[in-house]
Amino acid sequence: MEGKTKVMGKAWAESLRLENIASHRQTLQILLGKNKTCTFEIGCGHGHWLAAYAQQHPEEFCLGIDLITDRIEKCQRKKTKQKITNIGFIKAEASELLDALPPEITFTKIFILYPDPWPKKRHHKNRFIQTENLTRLANHSAIGAKLHFRTDDENYFEWTLAELKKHPQWRILNEAVWPFETETFFEKILKAKRDIVAEKIL
C-alpha cells in the first residue's frame, strides 16, 4: 500500500508540474512579446535589483521569477509605480519556467543572487545549482552568455564552483567583473558575499 501511495504521489506531482509548465508557456508568450533575448534573474525577491538593472539597461528585456506570491506582487507594483517597460515578473519554480520557455528565446545574462543554500546535507538535492538545471540554462543561453552567481554561504559557493567546473557547457571566468551593483534586500542583512561568473561555451 505504501508503494502504491508513493507512485500516486509522484503521478500527481508530475501532473501538477505539467499544468504549471503549460500555464507558464501561455504567460511567457504574452510577457515576452517580440523579444527573442532576455536577461534572466532566478529568485528575484522583491524585484529591487532587477528593476534597478532594467532601468539602467533599457535595451535589454529583463525577466524575473520567484516562488513567493507576495514577492511577485511587490515586483509588479514596483514595475507599475516606476513605469518600467522592459521588465516582467512571473511566479514560477525555475526548472518549470525553463521547461516552458519557447525554444527561440535565449538568455544573454543570468543572475542568481543569494539563493537558498539549503545548508543541511540531506537537503542539498534541493539546491538549484545541479547538473540538470545548468543544462537547462545552457540550452536557452547564447554562446558567450554569462551566468552570475552570488552567495554568502561558503559551502554553496564551493558546491557551485564544482558543479560548473564539471559541466561541459560552462566555463568559469576567474577575472570577470561583476556587471552591475545595487544593494539588494539580502545584502542589507548579509554583508559577506562570494561571486562566480561563468560563460556559456557549448
> How far is Cα 90 from Cα 196, in angstroms, rounded to an integer?
25
pLDDT of residue 9: 75
Q: Which three cell numbers stand for residue 155?
A: 559551502
Backbone CA torsion sign across 140, 146, 150, 156: positive
Q: Are 145 and 108 in contact (CB under 8 A)?
A: yes
Q: Note if 116 is an active site residue.
A: yes
- Look at residue 2 in the predicted model and tell me its pLDDT: 59
Beta-bridge mates of residue 64: 41, 89
Query: Which one of the listed residues 116, 152, 153, 195 is annotated catalytic?
Result: 116
Burial annotation 56-86 (CB, 10 A radius, 16+ → b, else e): eeeebbbbbbbeeeebbebbeebbeeeebeb
**Do 43 and 114 form a contact (C-beta atoms < 8 A)?**
yes
- Say what the pLDDT of residue 188 is: 73
Domains and CATH numbers, the chain: 2-200 (3.40.50.150)
54 CB-near residues (< 8 Å, 6+ apart): 39, 60, 62, 84, 86, 87
pLDDT for 184 = 74
Residue with the three cell numbers 516552458: 100
**Burial class of 165 by CB neighbour count within 10 A (0 to 12, 13 to 18, 19+):** exposed
Residue from 117, 123, 121, 94 nearest 192 by CA: 117
pLDDT at 185: 72
Q: How do the pLDDT tens digits run along the chain, 202 residues long? A: 555 556 567 889 999 999 999 999 999 999 999 999 999 999 999 999 999 999 999 999 999 999 999 999 999 999 999 999 999 999 999 999 999 999 999 999 999 999 999 999 999 999 999 999 999 999 999 999 999 999 999 999 999 999 999 999 999 999 999 999 987 777 777 767 899 999 999 9
